[in-house]
Structure formats: C-alpha cells, structure tokens
Structure 1
Amino acid sequence: MSLSRRALLSAAVLAAPAPAFAQWPFGLGRRGGRAPRAGRADYAGPPLRQQLGDWQFDQIRTAVSARLQPVIRDAIEDRFIQGVTATPGVEAATAALAEPGGAVWTQSWTRDGTAPAAQFAWDGLDRAYVATAAAQMVEGGALTLDAEIARWAPDLPNAAWITLEDLLAHTSGLPDLTAPEPQVALFQPGAAMRLSPANDALLAQVLTAAADAPMSDLLAQRIATRRDLGETIFTAGEPVAVNASALDVVRFWRDLLGDRLHGGEMTRRRFYRLHPVGEELADYVGLGVRVRDLAADAGAPADTWLYAGEPNAASIVAYSMTTRATVAVTLKGSGAADALARSLLDVVAA
C-alpha cells in the first residue's frame, strides 16, 4: 500500500464515528487542542527508589546470558522438599533455579504423590508478560509510551492526559471502572502511584485493539513462540492466565533481563522510575516489573530482587542481585512463594 493511500485511509478512519464494537471503554476520541501537560501533575508521592546503574544492568546481562544446562542439586532439592512438606496448606508446587553459570535445577511436587501437571498456574505474573508485549509494540512503532488513552477511551476521567506509560506504571489515577456509578479520578495523572486492576484492564484492551488479536494470542506470538517457550500457555480471561513450567518462567525472566525480548534501552526504561508500594519503602513498581530491597525486612539478607509477582502470594519469579541467580516458585493451595524462593536462594548463597 502506498504512503498516500495509507494516509487517506487513516484519515478516513479517524474521521468516522466509533463503530459498535468500539464503545466504552473504547472509541476514537481525541484530545483536541489542549496540551498534554496541562492536565498532568508532577509526581508528589513517596520518594522514588534510586535508579539502577548501567554497570548493574551490564552485570545482570552477563549473569543471565549463559546457556541453561539442567543439573541435579541435592541441597536445593532437599530445601525445596522440606519447604513444601512443612507448609500444610500446599497441595502442589513447582520451582526452578538458574545459577549465573547456566546450571539450572527444577522440580515439581504433589502432596498426594500423583504426577505433577506439566504446567502450573502463575497468578500475578500476567502484568510482566503483558508489559513485555507492550514494550515490544512500542519498539516496533505500533504504540508510543506517551500516547494518550483518549484515542481509545475518550470518556474516562483525564483520558486526554493519561498515557500508555501511566497504565504500565499505575500512575493514571483511574478509579474502579467496574463500579456502576461514574467515578472521579483518584489523582491527576503522574501525581502518584496506585496499583489498580483498572490500569491492567485498559492496557490489555489497548494492546488487543492495536494488535487486532486476543491477548492470549498476542502473548503466545510475542513471547512463547519468539523465545521457544514450549511449556508456556496463555489462556484468555481478565486477566489472561499464565500456565507454564517453572523452567519456562525462569527462561522468560532471564530473557527479559538479558535484552532478548526487547532492547537494552527498553529494559532500562522499565526500571527507570521505581515507585514505592505502601509506606515501608522496600517494594517498588516499574513498567510491569518490580524491585524489592530485602534488607528492609526484619531478619532478611542484604539482597535486592528484580521480580514479578506479589509479596506473600502464591507465585513469584525473581533475579537476586546478590547471588545473580534466577528463581521461580508457584504453589497450589496456601503458602508464600517468596518465602520458599528466598530459602532456595539461601542455598546458592551459602
């Protein structure tokens, strides 16, 4: 298609009324003549975390660059079995740990002795996968981080000043979009950070609209197929479900940090502004990634994790800045995956 023909079609689309399938929260609204900055605010929340240095990213890339080679690690195996059997609520578990030299251990377990599933559910990790697809689309030119969501959702509060980056960083101030009554913004875009499913839901809809594909297919194509993650399955839903082997989750995280899913500049951008979660100033959120300073926890080692998941939740994948190892753990039943992940990393640090 010629450039002039493409431009004419684009102009026709933008001039046309929103079709039935593009109704709330989507439409073809525009910001109009107002400057994007006019409706935004400078960040006024708790102090941001100090940025990671270039030398740290260089060290991380080196640590995750070695080809993975499966090994038997009796000490890690024993720690894993001890941890899951000692937690009564755990029905099944899987874990993998990759050392900086490329040695990787993995194991699955069930309390009743039945054969473990090939893939486990990884609750809470969908944000990292979706954000990675968004980063790829930005690099490819399909989207921009400063694109205002008014293009897709003109009727939402502050839609003319909320950007794609705000959705990724949860700095949009969007209220609960599922509430029956119209709600006002929680804060001006950029003024604060608040984790909200509203950002995740709208981000997913922006990506699927831009790609013209369901989120499960989008992630499969851009992540699982691209990196040959044959034991990873994405299932449609809100949010999309991630089902994978622990080894595939470790490979995904190493690929992300090793600049194999997007370029190094984008990797740094995702960790550039780290907003604190809560008042303890130990857990921080970037663009679909998180950083946790373990030394702030009572009795915890002096370590920093680059991770995805939620503290004290059932699933986590983390890169340890101290051991330079990558660990992934998910539990079925009750129990904290990060506690078991920390215990496995302690074996490597010993």
Structure 2
Amino acid sequence: MVASQIKKTLRSMKAMDKTPLAEDAYDDAPKEGPEPSRQIVWRNVVLMSLLHIGALYGLILIPSTSSLTLMWSGVCFMISALGITAGVHRLWSHRSYKASLPLRIFLAVANSMAFQNDIYEWARDHRVHHKFSETDADPHNARRGFFFAHIGWLLVRKHPDVIKKGSRLDLSDLEADGVVMFQRRYYKLSVVVVCFLIPTVVPWFFWQESLWVGYLIPGLLRYTVVLNVSWLVNSAAHMWGMRPYDQNINPRENKLVAFSAIGEGFHNYHHTFPHDYATSEFGSRLNVTKAFIDLMCYFGLASDCRKMPRETIMARVKRTGDGSHKSG
C-alpha cells in the first residue's frame, strides 16, 4: 500500500517536470466589475496595529542594543526574506528552478520565519495574482489604491472572486511536495518557534541580551520590516517606475523595491516573464536572491534554472515596451 502510494507520487512529480506551469500565466480577464466589498476584519486591524507599535518601540531601543543583536537581526531578516523570495515565490509559486530536499527544507523553515501564510496558501494566492492581475480576483489588486495593495488587503475579507478563481487552480505540484504539506500541517507551531522564539532566545542565551530586547528587535521589528518590504512589491512596484518590457500592464521596474526586497522590484520584467528564476534581465545587480540561487547551484543544491533568451527579451521590448529600456 505504502509502496504503491510512493510510486504514484513519483509518477506525479515526473509529470510535473515535463509540463509547463500555466497556473501563474496571465489570463486577460475583464478589468471592470462591481465595486469590491470591504468587510473589515477587526482582529487583523488590531493585531497589525499592535505589531507596528511594537516595531516602533523596537526602533527606539536600537541605540542601546548590542551590535551582536543587531547583526543577528540582520541574519534573521535575510533568512526570512529568502524564505519568501527564493522559496515560496521563485521556487514554489513559479517553479523557476529545482531545489534539492535539504534546500527545500531550509526554505520552508525560512518561510515560517517570515510568517506570511504557509507555502501552499501563499503560492496559491500568488498564482491567482499573476493570472488575474489587477482585477477583483487579484488578492492585492493595486487598482484599489496603494494602501489596499500594501496592507489593506489583509485587513478585509477576500473578494469572492479571489476565492472562486483560486479554488479552480491546479495545485497538484504543491500537494505532491512533502515539504510543503508538512509545513502546512505544522505551520502555526513552526511560526511560534522559528519566527519568534529562536530570534528572541539566541541573543539572550549566547551573549546575555535581555529577552525583552530580543523579542522586540530580532523578533517584532525584524518581522515587521520583512512584511513591509514584501508588501512594497505589491504596492510601490505596481505603481511607480518604468515599464520597459510591457507598457500594457501595471507592474513597474522599481530599484528601491528591488534593493529592499533583495531582488523582487524588477516587477515589469517579472510579470512579463514570470518563469525566469532571476526575475530580472540584469543578473545579480540589486538581486541578492539570484546570487543565492546561483550559489546553491554551485554547491549542487539547486538546478535547472529557467532563464529567458536575450533575443526573446529584446523582441518583447521592441513590441510592447514603453521605450525606457537600457541594455547592460
């Protein structure tokens, strides 16, 4: 029984590798529709308010915090960010490269440290975002304004179209990944341990930092910063910047977002060529995530990175770009 189930799973995984991922490809759905409903989730409003208040208090404590704790906060930031960018985004949402089991486990842990929904739910919503971008089916539809695209979408009930369209996606590749489903099963526990407990306890245990400072800075402040730089991809990178690859879509090239979100701000390119593992034409420039994936490839932990041919990129630039493209 177990052996047959394993064989079935392996066949399913092989089939996935041979078929292109269409679930994140843009679907030219109509942009107009009824005014979206706005049912406020007051629990989320309160929790997000308290989180940001705690983060602001953490900022006040920075001058009196040890340099080791600040460096540890930077390490936690980078791990958390990679859990989103290299993990749930480029690997699991777009399957833009392949990762070995040890790397997938690391990225799943890093994703729990980022605490932005489990891999399965995040990838599902992101595929809906790409397929129905800037429509009511887009979870963080930027046409509803900066605040909504940045954080407001988390403070209200999802539009019915988000749920409806998301339920129709084929997520069998995620369901066949044991790491994804294990993380989903134990997600809440993993968040408590990896997002809050470990960042808080390490400074206290190894260099006698107070638990209070450990909780506020590597814990709350770091977590809040990761949230906001991730949200900038949904808000600022959909509103401000050039559109050198496709002027007919909203996402933009935003270098400030690319820097803060370790490579996720080349958004016009990404929405034009969503399967490119670099999410950018220009290599590792302002793109720590690409450099990380390349390093994993060097060590044999990642492989089969998908990259758009330059001639395809230039053809698209000439056909649909806004004229702002600069090569090199």
- Relative to the length of structure 1, the TM-score reads 0.23
Larger radius of gyration between Structure 1 and Structure 2 = 1
Going by fraction, where is helix more abundant, 1 or 2?
2
- Relative to the length of structure 2, the TM-score reads 0.25
Going by fraction, where is strand more abundant, 1 or 2?
1
